[in-house]
């Protein structure tokens, strides 16, 4: 390797010295932490940069360098950086992307690094989303429930009961409402099902769905029982049975449904909570819309799965304690509120959730914060092999089921039989 270095170095020429990476510890012992943030919306980026600037002003000996990353390709980028020992010190990601990194030993266990204040601030069920193999490998700080964004005018015209977090619709009431809302060229609901797996699995928590079952030997198997089948069956029936859902949105992402929603083609669209930002920005003048909670399961069960955004520390970072101090600063309750407002999401911290700015009825904030207590770890995120199961088995199977190409029996067979073959490879 050394010989190759000697041979290759001259070829790099004069550009090499100009482009060589900076040293991490400057003169006078000042250290530099690299913080890769995936914030991308204008307000969110501004909040992130502002907090970094405040930290740098108050901590001249520990400088944080803000690096804007991208959700597109972040997994491969991080994996390569980890393998090459060049990962950022502080890593912004989401819990559903952490499992491989955590089990691979690339992320530091934060259990002893984080202060008690931060540990107590976030509920235990939320910590579970970033706990892998007994270690905490990320601080979950932003999350978003799936809600129904509805056309208020059409709701009032159809005279359906407007549900709230205290009294949500049951799945049957939701089907009934969609039925009443479907008329004059308007569909009751538009399911954007380009990525059907997480929506299906996360909403199925309300009906007792689990799909992934961990045995006493710690091995996970896939089952698709009656409780798991309830939500997919509702969606399937709305699309192909009573036609209260538009079939054209089957291949759409959430944003793609908005023109139809604004145009009165769909009365309701199930979307992530942060889509409100696009609605505020793009809705026509005078368009009346509201945020409704997702339908509840038996006994008013409003649980749903989420994969919060996280901050992690690279296991290779020589400055883990300093990075943990920055995370503690970054996630103080008022800061969490600023980050949440910037991203139009919910903070995970208890104190931040009580902030009046997030309790207002304007833009549906109050509905979202009322649902925060019902958010649970997404069923799949600690399962090794889930990404492959999702891409190769579940996504095509669910898409075929929703389009009517296969029935519930074949869907079940494929999710379970093919799925267990995939998971078995990861659990040998």
Partner 1 sequence: MSRRPTARRRAARTGQYLALLGYLVFLAFPLLWLVSTAFKPPRELASLHPGWIPDHPTLGNFRQAFEEQPLLRSAGNSLIASLAAAVITVVIATPMAYVMARHHRSRLSRAATGWIVVSQAFPFVLVIIPLFLVLKEVRLIDSLAGLIMVYVVWSLPFALWMLAGYARAVPRELEEAAAVDGAGRLRALVSVTVPLLTPGIVATALFAFITAWNEFFFALVLLKSPRKQTMPIILTHFIGTEGVADLGPLAAASLLATLPSLVLFAIIQRRITSGTLAGAVKH
Among 185, 284, 356, 409, which residue sits at the site for partner 1 (rule: CB under 8 A)? 284
Helix (H, G, I), strand (E, B) or coil at 428: coil
Residues 133-152 that bind partner 1 (CB under 8 A): none
The separation between CA 204 and the C-alpha centre of its own chain, rounded to angstroms, equals 16
Strands 90-94, 31-37: pairing is: parallel
In the block, tokens 């997919």 appear at: 232
Among 278, 351, 395, 427, which residue sits at the site for partner 1 (rule: CB under 8 A)? 278
Under rule CB under 8 A, residue 20 binds partner 1: yes
In the complex, least distance from residue 87 CB atom to partner 1, rounded to whole angstroms: 10
Among 47, 51, 55, 88, which residue sits at the site for partner 1 (rule: CB under 8 A)? 88
Interface stretch with partner 1, choices 116-124, 238-246, 275-283, 413-421 (CB under 8 A): 275-283
Is 13 or 215 the residue whose CB approaches partner 1 more closely? 13
In the complex, least distance from residue 18 CB atom to partner 1, rounded to whole angstroms: 8
Query: In the chain, what is the straight-line distance between the N-terminal and C-terminal CA atoms, in Å?
Result: 34
Under rule CB under 8 A, residue 25 binds partner 1: no
Interface stretch with partner 1, choices 18-26, 173-181, 372-380, 407-415 (CB under 8 A): 18-26
Residues 235-274 that bind partner 1 (CB under 8 A): 253-255, 258-260, 262-263, 265, 272, 274
Under rule CB under 8 A, residue 288 binds partner 1: no
Among 24, 31, 41, 179, which residue sits at the site for partner 1 (rule: CB under 8 A)? 41
Is 26 or 407 the residue whose CB approaches partner 1 more closely? 26
Under rule CB under 8 A, residue 71 binds partner 1: yes
The separation between CA 405 and the C-alpha centre of its own chain, rounded to angstroms, equals 29
The H or E element that residue 3 is part of is helix 2-12
Under rule CB under 8 A, residue 127 binds partner 1: no
User: Cα separation of 51 and 335, whole Å?
Assistant: 8
User: Cα separation of 273 and 308, whole Å?
Assistant: 12
The separation between CA 376 and the C-alpha centre of its own chain, rounded to angstroms, equals 12
Whole-Å CA distances, 410 to 54, 150, 417: 56, 33, 10
Under rule CB under 8 A, residue 218 binds partner 1: no
Q: What is the dihedral of CA 314, 319, 321, 323, to 10 degrees?
A: -60
Binding mask 333-372 for partner 1 (x = CB under 8 A): ----------------------------------------
3-state helix, strand, coil in the chain (%, to 5): 50, 20, 30
In the complex, least distance from residue 159 CB atom to partner 1, rounded to whole angstroms: 25
Under rule CB under 8 A, residue 318 binds partner 1: no
Under rule CB under 8 A, residue 329 binds partner 1: no
In the complex, least distance from residue 371 CB atom to partner 1, rounded to whole angstroms: 19
Among candidates 160, 167, 156, 114, which has minimal Cα distance to 138? 114
User: Cα separation of 424 and 419, whole Å?
Assistant: 9
The H or E element that residue 371 is part of is helix 365-371
In the complex, least distance from residue 36 CB atom to partner 1, rounded to whole angstroms: 9
Left, alpha or beta for 20 (phi > 0: left; psi -120 to 50: alpha)?
beta
Q: Please tell me the total number of residues recorded for the chain in this structure.
A: 428
Is 144 or 322 the residue whose CB approaches partner 1 more closely? 144
Under rule CB under 8 A, residue 185 binds partner 1: no
Number of other CB atoms surrounding residue 380 within 10 Å: 25
Under rule CB under 8 A, residue 77 binds partner 1: yes
Among candidates 399, 409, 414, which has minimal Cα distance to 240? 399
Cross-strand partners of 143: 346
Under rule CB under 8 A, residue 16 binds partner 1: yes
Chain contacts with partner 1 (rule: CB under 8 A): 1, 4-5, 8-9, 11-13, 15-16, 18-22, 34, 40-42, 45, 66-68, 70-73, 76-77, 79-81, 83-86, 88, 94, 194-195, 253-255, 258-260, 262-263, 265, 272, 274-275, 278, 281-285
């Amino acid at each position: 390797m050394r010989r190759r270095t000697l041979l290759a170095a001259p070829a790099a020429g004069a550009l090499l010295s100009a482009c060589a990476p900076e040293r991490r510890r400057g003169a006078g012992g000042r250290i530099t932490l690299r913080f890769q943030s995936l914030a991308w919306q204008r307000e969110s980026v501004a909040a992130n940069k502002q907090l970094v600037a405040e930290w740098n002003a108050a901590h001249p000996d520990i400088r944080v360098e803000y690096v804007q990353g991208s959700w597109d390709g972040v997994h491969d980028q991080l994996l390569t950086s980890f393998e090459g020992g060049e990962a950022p010190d502080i890593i912004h990601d989401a819990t559903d992307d952490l499992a491989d990194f955590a089990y691979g030993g690339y992320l530091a266990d934060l259990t002893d690094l984080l202060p008690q204040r931060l540990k107590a601030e976030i509920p235990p069920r939320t910590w579970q989303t970033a706990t892998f193999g007994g270690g905490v490998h990320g601080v979950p700080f932003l999350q978003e429930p799936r809600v129904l964004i509805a056309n208020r005018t059409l709701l009032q015209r159809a005279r359906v009961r407007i549900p709230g977090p205290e009294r949500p619709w049951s799945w049957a009431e939701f089907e009934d409402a969609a039925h009443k809302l479907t008329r004059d060229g308007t569909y009751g609901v538009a399911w954007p099902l380009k990525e059907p797996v997480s929506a299906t699995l996360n909403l199925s928590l309300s009906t007792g769905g689990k799909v992934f079952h961990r045995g006493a030997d710690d091995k996970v198997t896939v089952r698709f029982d009656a409780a798991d089948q309830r939500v997919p069956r509702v969606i399937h029936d709305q699309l192909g049975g009573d036609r209260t859902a538009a079939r054209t949105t089957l291949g759409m992402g959430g944003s793609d449904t908005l023109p139809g929603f604004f145009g009165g083609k769909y009365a309701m669209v199930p979307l992530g909570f942060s889509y409100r930002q696009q609605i505020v920005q793009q809705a026509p003048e005078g368009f009346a819309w509201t945020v409704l909670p997702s339908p509840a399961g038996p006994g008013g069960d409003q649980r749903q799965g989420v994969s919060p955004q996280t901050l992690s520390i690279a296991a290779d970072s020589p400055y883990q304690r300093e990075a943990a101090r920055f995370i503690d600063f970054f996630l103080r309750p008022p800061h969490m509120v600023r980050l949440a407002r910037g991203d139009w999401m919910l903070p995970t911290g208890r104190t931040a959730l009580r902030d009046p700015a997030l309790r207002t009825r304007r833009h549906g904030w109050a509905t979202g914060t009322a649902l925060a207590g019902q958010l649970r770890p997404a069923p799949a995120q600690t399962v090794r092999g889930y990404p492959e199961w999702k891409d190769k088995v579940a996504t095509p199977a669910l898409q075929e089921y929703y389009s009517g190409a296969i029935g519930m029996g074949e869907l079940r067979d494929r999710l379970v039989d093919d799925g267990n073959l995939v998971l078995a490879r990861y659990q040998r």
